C-alpha cells in the first residue's frame, strides 16, 4: 500500500518520477529502425530466464542471448525478462533469435510510445506503463513496459529499470510447487504479470484516494489550513495517473477476444478478472479526478467567500465614516461667515453628531447582519 495504514495522517502527494526530456524520433525515419528513444536508466542490460512446469523450476541470469537461441522446452513455460533498453544490439539479437518483427522491436525501444495491444494469432504484444511506489525516494516511478506472448509457452518482458512489481509472481513460481501458476501455461503467466501491473495501479490510486480524503477533511475543518499549491499538485498528479493507466482498459478488453493459438479457455476467467480490475482502476481514478476538481472549486469558492467577507466589513466601516467625512468636510471649509462657528458648544455638538451617526449606522448594520 502506498499510504501507511497505521499512520493517522497520510503522506503528502508525491510526484510521478518521469523523464523530463525525451529523444524525438528523427523526421522521415524508415519504419522499423532500431533506435533507443529515452533515457539510459541502468548501466547495463540484465537478462533473467525463468523456466518452470508443475514439477520443475529454474531461474538463472544471462549475460547475453546466444545467436543459436535458448534451450527451450515445449513442456515448460519460459519467461525471459530484460531490464535496460539502451543496448540496442542486445534487443536486436533477441528479435532475431525469437523472430520478432522490427516494428515490434521499435515500439519496445521507444519508451515514449503510447500504451497499446496488438493481438495476433502468432503473438500478443502489450505496451503499457509500470507505476511503482518508491518508499525511500518518496516518489512514484513510471517506466516503459512491454510484454510479448509467443507460441511455445514463451513470454518476453522488457523494462527500463529493475522493479519490484513482479516479485510476487516470481515468489509464487519459486514456492508454489504444484500450484495454479505452475500448472498453467504461458497465457496464465502473462495474466499474472499484467495483473501485477494493475494491482500497482490500484495501490497508487489508493494513495491518491488517501491524499484527496486528507485534503477534503482539512478543507472541512479549516479551509485556511490548505494551500492552493497542495490542491493543484494533487489535481496534476491525479490527471497524470489517469493518463498513465487509462489504456489498460483497452488492453484488458482486447485480451478477452478469442485467440485460440495463445490463450486457452482455462485462462479466460482470469482475463475477465483482469478486465474487472482495470475497469475498477479507471472508474476510481476518474472519481478522484472529479473529486480533486471539486476540492479546487471548493477552495476557490471559500477563498472568494473570505474575500467577500473582508470586503463587506471594510465597506461597512467605510460607509460609517462617510457621513462623518461629509460633516467634517463642511466645517473644514474656509468661509468667514459660518453661523455654527460662533457657538460655544458647537465643537462638542459636532462630536456628539459624529458618535450618534457612527453608533446608529453600526447598530443598523449589526441588525441587518452585515457585521
pLDDT at residue 28, rounded to an integer: 53
| Separation of alpha carbons 14 and 319, rounded Å | 49
305-367 architecture in CATH? Up-down Bundle (1.20)
pLDDT at residue 275, rounded to an integer: 92
Mean pLDDT per 10-residue section of the chain, whose length is 371 residues: 39 51 54 78 88 89 82 86 90 90 90 87 90 62 91 92 91 85 91 94 88 86 82 87 90 82 87 93 91 86 82 84 83 76 79 85 81 72
Domain ranges of the chain: 16-301, 305-367
pLDDT at residue 349, rounded to an integer: 82
Helix then strand count (H, E) for the chain reads 9, 8
Reported in sequence order, the residue ranges of the chain that DSSP labels E, i.e. its strands, are 16-17, 46-52, 57-62, 77-83, 116-119, 124-134, 139-150, 154-159
| Separation of alpha carbons 123 and 88, rounded Å | 22
pLDDT at residue 135, rounded to an integer: 53
Q: What are the grid coordinates assigned to 40, written together?
A: 539510459
The reply to whether domains 16-301 and 305-367 share a CATH topology is no
257-289 per-residue burial string, b: 16 or more CB within 10 A, e: under 16? eebeebbeeebeebbeebbebbeebbebbeebb
pTM equals 0.78
pLDDT at residue 134, rounded to an integer: 55
Bridge partners for 47 per DSSP: 62, 82
Report the candidate in 183, 180, 188, 103 with the shortest Cα–Cα distance to residue 146.
Answer: 103
Q: Find out if CATH 2.60.40.420 is the number for domain 16-301.
A: no
pLDDT at residue 17, rounded to an integer: 53
| Separation of alpha carbons 265 and 278, rounded Å | 20
Amino acid at each position: 500500500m502506498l499510504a501507511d495504514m497505521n499512520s493517522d495522517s497520510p503522506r503528502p502527494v508525491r510526484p510521478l518520477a518521469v523523464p523530463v526530456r525525451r529523444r524525438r524520433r528523427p523526421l522521415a525515419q524508415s519504419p522499423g529502425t532500431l533506435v533507443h528513444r529515452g533515457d539510459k536508466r541502468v548501466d547495463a542490460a540484465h537478462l533473467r530466464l525463468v523456466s518452470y512446469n508443475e514439477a520443475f523450476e529454474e531461474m538463472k541470469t544471462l549475460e547475453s542471448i546466444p545467436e543459436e537461441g535458448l534451450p527451450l522446452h515445449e513442456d515448460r513455460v519460459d519467461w525471459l525478462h530484460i531490464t535496460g533498453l539502451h543496448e540496442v544490439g542486445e534487443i536486436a539479437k533477441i528479435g532475431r533469435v525469437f523472430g520478432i518483427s522490427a516494428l515490434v522491436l521499435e515500439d519496445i525501444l521507444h519508451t515514449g510510445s503510447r500504451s497499446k495491444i496488438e493481438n495476433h494469432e502468432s503473438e500478443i504484444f502489450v505496451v503499457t506503463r509500470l507505476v511503482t511506489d518508491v518508499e525511500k525516494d518518496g516518489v512514484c516511478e513510471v517506466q516503459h513496459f512491454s510484454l510479448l506472448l509467443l507460441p511455445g509457452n514463451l513470454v518476453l518482458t522488457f523494462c527500463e529499470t529493475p522493479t519490484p512489481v513482479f516479485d510476487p509472481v516470481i515468489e509464487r513460481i519459486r514456492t508454489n510447487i504444484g500450484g495454479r501458476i505452475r500448472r498453467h501455461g504461458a497465457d496464465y503467466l502473462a495474466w499474472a504479470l499484467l495483473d501485477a501491473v494493475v494491482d500497482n495501479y490500484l495501490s497508487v490510486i489508493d494513495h491518491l484516494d488517501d491524499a484527496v480524503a486528507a485534503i477534503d477533511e482539512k478543507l472541512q475543518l479549516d479551509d485556511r489550513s490548505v494551500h492552493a499549491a497542495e490542491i493543484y499538485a494533487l489535481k496534476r498528479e491525479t490527471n497524470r495517473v489517469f493518463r498513465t493507466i487509462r489504456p489498460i482498459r483497452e488492453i484488458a478488453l482486447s485480451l478477452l477476444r478469442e485467440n485460440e493459438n495463445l490463450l486457452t479457455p482455462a485462462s479466460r476467467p482470469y482475463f475477465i478478472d483482469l478486465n474487472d480490475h482495470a475497469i475498477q482502476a479507471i472508474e476510481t481514478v476518474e472519481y478522484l479526478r472529479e473529486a480533486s476538481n471539486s476540492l479546487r472549486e471548493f477552495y476557490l469558492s471559500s477563498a472568494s467567500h473570505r474575500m467577500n467577507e473582508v470586503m463587506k466589513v471594510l465597506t461597512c466601516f467605510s460607509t460609517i465614516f462617510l457621513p462623518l467625512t461629509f460633516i467634517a468636510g463642511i466645517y473644514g471649509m474656509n468661509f468667514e461667515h459660518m453661523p455654527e462657528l460662533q457657538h460655544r458648544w458647537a465643537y462638542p455638538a459636532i462630536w456628539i453628531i459624529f458618535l450618534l451617526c457612527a453608533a446608529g449606522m453600526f447598530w443598523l448594520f449589526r441588525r441587518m447582519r452585515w457585521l
